[in-house]
Structure 1
Amino acid sequence: MDISLLMVHPSEPIRKVKRLKRTRREATSYMKTHPITNTVASLVKALTPRNRDILSRRFGLKKGKKETLESIGKSYGITRERVRQIEESTLAQLVKTSQGTTDLEKYAGMAKDIIARSGGIIKEKDLFREFGGSSEENVVNASLAFVLRLNKELVRVQENDRLHSFWALNKEHAGSFVETVNSVTHLLSKQKKILSQNDFHNFVKASDLPGVGNQTINDKHIQLCLNISKELDKNIFDEVGLVSWPEIKPSGVKDKAYLVLKREDSPKHFSEISKLINTAGFSGKKANVQTVHNELIKDNRFVLVGRGIYALSEWGYKPGTVKDVLVDILKKSSKPLSRTAILAKVMNNRIVKENTILLNLQDSRTFVKNNDGTYTLREA
């Protein structure tokens, strides 16, 4: 829970929700009587036919889907660069002529309210969903993006390899958010392990990283990082990590097996691991039992500890036969070990019957049974 909620009157959160609902009702009512598509049509009406067509196609104002500079250039027999120049100059012209337009200011104000409620930053698709009820490409969302491009305050950051496109209240918010995302990503990469959502939030807040707009980083900022960054994500168990980690984006059966076995925190038979994969909710086809077994055999992250039973090597299990385990135990021991002590140590590393261990101890070429009943390794 956000501790700030404990510092206000109990009815304050309820009043905030009521104000939010009232604001949304007013916005919905305004959009019905003043459709944003009509507002945009009026704005571009005075443009030359070619410039109007280029802007409409670049922003998807007619069909909801944007066209590339190249496709528009080909239709007019001009270069991509020339299309870009026309787009920029026409937008600059509209910025000047549209100032003071009531509908324009009203819609920009609605968007500002949505962005402010989100923490000063919002993923573009989330803005579209809040504004028009859908995050998909359509003429309403295209019209909103166009209207906001004419606003001098709001800033849109274009999608790139690391971030989804997003909107900010101003340049300062946009710049500080990018820095925050980079810092959070770097912090998690040094942590080198996945975290639950709650632990992730606490971990980042404890680091004292700067937040958005000179604020101390808070839960909203952290959630925005997770929503907008392409390098951070959650797995199907709602755990957070880097997209490059197999625990977050498992690339095949072996990664899925690792993830489910790690969550179980105990050795499992390969058939049980297969069931766990298929019931976990991973996308893609069902895991085949034999395929799972084959992948476990080949991957060093897994150790065979019994008949078809596998554990994770990171739990301290080492590969090898029961005899190999016995040799390792006696090598590490500073004194001869009793049968009881040996059995206990082996059973901690392997899921086998006592008789199997005792049969291996009878190998006189490797093990020596002393007069007092203890065992040591035979010297080479």
Structure 2
Amino acid sequence: MEVETQPIFIPSTARGRLIQEFPQSVRLFNVLRNARIKLAGDLHGRSFADIARSRNCGKKTIDELREIVRALQRSSPETVSFSWPRHSPNILVVPPSVREISLREIPLSVRLGHVLRSRSYKSLGDLHGTDVYDLLKIENCGRKSISELRQLLRRAEAGEFTASPPVDFSEALVMIIRTIDAGVRELSARDRKIMDERLFGNEGESRTLEDVGRDFGMTRERVRQIVRGAFEKIRRAGGPVLARSLEAVADDCNTHVVPLTVSLLVERLPAGGATGERDPLFYVLVLDHMAQSIPAWPPGTTREGADNPQTEPVHQALEDWLRLSGDKPTAKEAWEHLRTQPRFAELSASDFLTILRRVRNLIVDFPHADEPRLRLRRLRLFDVTLPVLNESSEPLTPEEIIRRARSRFGANAVMLSARTAENALSAYPEVFRLGPRSFGLRKHFISAEPERLDLRNRFASLLRKENRPISTIEVCDKRNIAISSGLNAYELAEILREDNRFIDLGRRLFALAEWGVEEREHVKDLLPLILAEANRPLTVSDIYERLTKFRSATLPGLSNILRQHPQIRSFGFSFHGLRVWGDSRNAYLVGKRSIVEQAVRRAEPPIRFASLCEVFDIPVEGTAAATLWKSCAGSEKLRRAPDRRDPGTLLMHKTVSLEQCLASICRPIGRPVPAYELEWELRKRFGELFERVRLKQIEERLAKSPRFLRNTDGAYFLDADLDLESLDVEAL
């Protein structure tokens, strides 16, 4: 038999198609299977002569294959017609209507699930065209598994796994509750008991894996596997119907930016309808573990998982916004506000709710089940003053500010006296003293912006004419320059302070800066000159020593002036400098070993070298970073792991004790923690810094520490978190 030897050409667009899609005889099917040809691309480059050498391959078989090649080249498999069956009985056929169903959404046995995962199958469509003989070659795959698979395909073709989407949120909740109840009933009595103990065993609250394992005589890992397997069985038993219902609930929660709480679940269930066989909290807890896409918020719990890198930026942005606005926005309003900022433009509602659940400095209130509102946990005077003044049409006295703040933010919003509040308000650059005891914002100025420039020019001309310092009180009394009606000495003083041509000598007395520094000049005018002459940051003591060469001063008063001075900023570690320098003087600080040691000691242990560079606002690479590492490496008070310059190198002050490190680990967890879990976190967070510390040493240190208390379950928590155990502190 003469057969062509030239290579077979298959178009690139057709090379990914399965050969089983084309009608073929059993003989040709066996020839191609023995030649390991499954895709059309496997034929590309081979010749008919090569295939003709296969066993039982004759002229009719080659002619049949040639027709298939022609059909591939024409990309029209319908042009091939033979009288043989379209598919071999050993080839799995999946109808197109069910090929998109995920394997995670249908009830598979454990054995069959492992077989399909070993082939990386994810949907029923991946099974189309698969030879059952190939599956039988997989370990632990027998004829029972194949029979189960064929039965599942028949059920899928019959429409059993094809779900119609729920009509609304309430219908989806009802479907989910019914499916969960049915899935729980299918669990074994032991698995159902273990799941209940894990979720509700501690007087309605969850128990630790170790406690549950102790009751059932198994390890904590085995308990975790059983609970996880129970949730997986419930999810698989629900199939696509449950999956679509979960998607509907997740979409509704994320659309309205509302977490699924117990109160929302009860409120949204149909009136008079079945509420399920269990407590509503049970369903919220199950959804929290089973459906990561749903923002379920059971009371007193925090979803486990990796931290979102946007967590801290989102927290900070929300705090800044709430402090400035003073409002209690809904979660949706807060999310929409964040998305107006370029760095949060891609923040999804789901990620936002997950981050919001972990927040510590904000409180989420639920005046209505579908209306979560955000507020700050703690308020500063400045945080309540700006909203109050923004709403007022005139300047307010400290007493009036305090009264309105308490009316708006609560009785405990401001706990300061009027006198203390007056002193504090004088330090805020956004707040201006516009009367003897009244404060306002720029919008409360009587003079308009164009008029202020004329006022400054007229006042400067008056100073040159009189050749002496002049107070704004004198100008307003004598009217020796043209000023607006109603403009007082306090507002005029605020206008002049914004112009660097003038020097404020105190008590609203002003002089020209070009006259130079005199003995009677105010201290705050001398400070920028002293810093500019030094051309580097100075400590308070250094500034005090240089200032006393010009005039008398006190250290406490000097510290207050430095904090309030508009031209001076703190570089940290008691160093101050001019704002115009920016971060250009930070390289000076990193060269001082004592400052570097102080920075490491103040930081939450341990601190990475890259984070230490951020503290000093210097890049990780470069001369400044090399100087910083030199200071770290030369310090005998710092521990380094490993002892080489690297962004990930851990640094910790030697005065930091093991007890302090354990406290820093325990504090953010917010629940009692077993000693072995603290040991894991210590290894994970501190690495080689505590590599020689063993569990026994940790337990001994915890037992002796006055910072820690131990509950009856043997777990430890901080004395400050005594309320975690729901104990009566006053009775104790």
| Distance of 1:284 and 1:96 partners within structure 2 | 49
Give matches, 1:19-168, under 5 Å: 22-27=167-172, 30=175, 34=178, 36=180, 38-39=181-182, 41-47=184-190, 52-60=192-200, 64-69=204-209, 72=212, 76=215, 84-94=220-230, 97-98=233-234, 100-102=236-238, 106-119=241-254, 125-126=259-260, 128-133=262-267, 139-146=279-286, 149=289, 151=290, 154=292, 165=302
Partner secondary structure for residue 417 of structure 2: helix
Cα deviation, residue 269, structure 1: 1.8
The one-letter amino acid of 1:293's match is: R
Match of 2:403 among 275, 294, 306: 275
The one-letter amino acid of 2:422's match is: L
- Which of the two has greater helix per residue? 1
Cα deviation, residue 350, structure 1: 1.9
- 1:310 aligns to 2:445 (yes or no): no
Cα deviation, residue 114, structure 1: 1.0
Question: Residues 396 and 439 of structure 2 are in contact (CA less than 8 Å); yes or no, is this contact kept in structure 1?
Answer: yes
The one-letter amino acid of 1:66's match is: S
**1:183–1:250 distance in 2 versus 1, CA, 3 Å:** closer
| Distance of 1:332 and 1:230 partners within structure 2 | 56
**1:59–1:201 distance in 2 versus 1, CA, 3 Å:** same
User: Which residue is 2:157 aligned to?
Assistant: none
The one-letter amino acid of 1:55's match is: M
Partner secondary structure for residue 168 of structure 2: helix
Question: Residues 59 and 65 of structure 1 are in contact (CA less than 8 Å); yes or no, is this contact kept in structure 2?
Answer: yes
| Distance of 1:157 and 1:27 partners within structure 2 | 15
Partner secondary structure for residue 26 of structure 1: helix
| Distance of 2:231 and 2:335 partners within structure 1 | 42
| Distance of 1:39 and 1:62 partners within structure 2 | 25
Question: Residues 60 and 139 of structure 1 are in contact (CA less than 8 Å); yes or no, is this contact kept in structure 2?
Answer: no
Question: Residues 27 and 110 of structure 1 are in contact (CA less than 8 Å); yes or no, is this contact kept in structure 2?
Answer: yes
Partner secondary structure for residue 205 of structure 2: coil
**1:313–1:229 distance in 2 versus 1, CA, 3 Å:** farther
User: Which residue is 2:422 aligned to?
Assistant: 296
Cα deviation, residue 260, structure 1: 1.8
Question: Residues 59 and 67 of structure 1 are in contact (CA less than 8 Å); yes or no, is this contact kept in structure 2?
Answer: yes
| Distance of 1:62 and 1:41 partners within structure 2 | 20
User: Which residue is 2:384 aligned to?
Assistant: 256
| Distance of 2:393 and 2:293 partners within structure 1 | 47
1:179-204 deviations in whole A, cap 9, x for unaligned?
A: 56566557778999836877983673
| Distance of 2:334 and 2:227 partners within structure 1 | 45
1:192-221 deviations in whole A, cap 9, x for unaligned?
A: 983687798367336275526xxxx6xx57
Match of 1:194 among 291, 310, 324: 324
**1:272–1:340 distance in 2 versus 1, CA, 3 Å:** farther
Partner secondary structure for residue 481 of structure 2: helix
**1:343–1:222 distance in 2 versus 1, CA, 3 Å:** farther
The one-letter amino acid of 1:277's match is: A
Question: Residues 361 and 377 of structure 2 are in contact (CA less than 8 Å); yes or no, is this contact kept in structure 1?
Answer: no
Q: Identity of aligned pairs, percent? A: 11
1:39-59 deviations in whole A, cap 9, x for unaligned?
A: 354144343xxx544421222
1:326-371 deviations in whole A, cap 9, x for unaligned?
A: xxx967976448734376599355279xxxxxxxxxxxxx899xxx
Question: Residues 277 and 287 of structure 1 are in contact (CA less than 8 Å); yes or no, is this contact kept in structure 2?
Answer: yes
| Distance of 1:332 and 1:71 partners within structure 2 | 83
| Distance of 1:367 and 1:253 partners within structure 2 | 30
Structure 1: 5+ residue runs without aligned partners? 1-19, 168-173, 237-242, 317-328, 353-365, 369-375
**1:314–1:248 distance in 2 versus 1, CA, 3 Å:** farther
| Distance of 1:367 and 1:99 partners within structure 2 | 77
Cα deviation, residue 115, structure 1: 0.6
| Distance of 1:225 and 1:59 partners within structure 2 | 21
Question: Residues 108 and 148 of structure 1 are in contact (CA less than 8 Å); yes or no, is this contact kept in structure 2?
Answer: no
Greater length-normalized contact order (CA 8 Å, ≥ 6 residues apart)? 1
Question: Residues 338 and 345 of structure 2 are in contact (CA less than 8 Å); yes or no, is this contact kept in structure 1?
Answer: no
**What's the Cα RMSD here?**
5.8
Partner secondary structure for residue 487 of structure 2: helix
| Distance of 1:83 and 1:178 partners within structure 2 | 31
**1:257–1:139 distance in 2 versus 1, CA, 3 Å:** same
Structure 2: 5+ residue runs without aligned partners? 1-164, 269-277, 366-373, 446-457, 467-474, 493-508, 521-732
Question: Residues 64 and 140 of structure 1 are in contact (CA less than 8 Å); yes or no, is this contact kept in structure 2?
Answer: no
Question: Residues 199 and 205 of structure 2 are in contact (CA less than 8 Å); yes or no, is this contact kept in structure 1?
Answer: yes
Partner secondary structure for residue 410 of structure 2: coil
Partner secondary structure for residue 379 of structure 2: coil
**1:156–1:286 distance in 2 versus 1, CA, 3 Å:** closer
| Distance of 1:367 and 1:109 partners within structure 2 | 73
The one-letter amino acid of 2:182's match is: T
| Distance of 2:250 and 2:279 partners within structure 1 | 21
| Distance of 1:98 and 1:45 partners within structure 2 | 12
1:289-334 deviations in whole A, cap 9, x for unaligned?
A: x823332224522665434323469999xxxxxxxxxxxx967976
**1:43–1:139 distance in 2 versus 1, CA, 3 Å:** farther
Give matches, 1:165-244, under 5 Å: 165=302, 178=308, 184=314, 194=324, 201=336, 204-205=339-340, 207=342, 209=344, 211=346, 220=349, 224=353, 227-228=356-357, 230=359
Cα deviation, residue 89, structure 1: 1.8
Partner secondary structure for residue 194 of structure 1: helix
**1:285–1:101 distance in 2 versus 1, CA, 3 Å:** same
Question: Residues 253 and 260 of structure 2 are in contact (CA less than 8 Å); yes or no, is this contact kept in structure 1?
Answer: no
**1:122–1:99 distance in 2 versus 1, CA, 3 Å:** same
| Distance of 1:97 and 1:35 partners within structure 2 | 11
Question: Residues 194 and 227 of structure 2 are in contact (CA less than 8 Å); yes or no, is this contact kept in structure 1?
Answer: no
Cα deviation, residue 106, structure 1: 4.6
Question: Residues 269 and 308 of structure 1 are in contact (CA less than 8 Å); yes or no, is this contact kept in structure 2?
Answer: yes
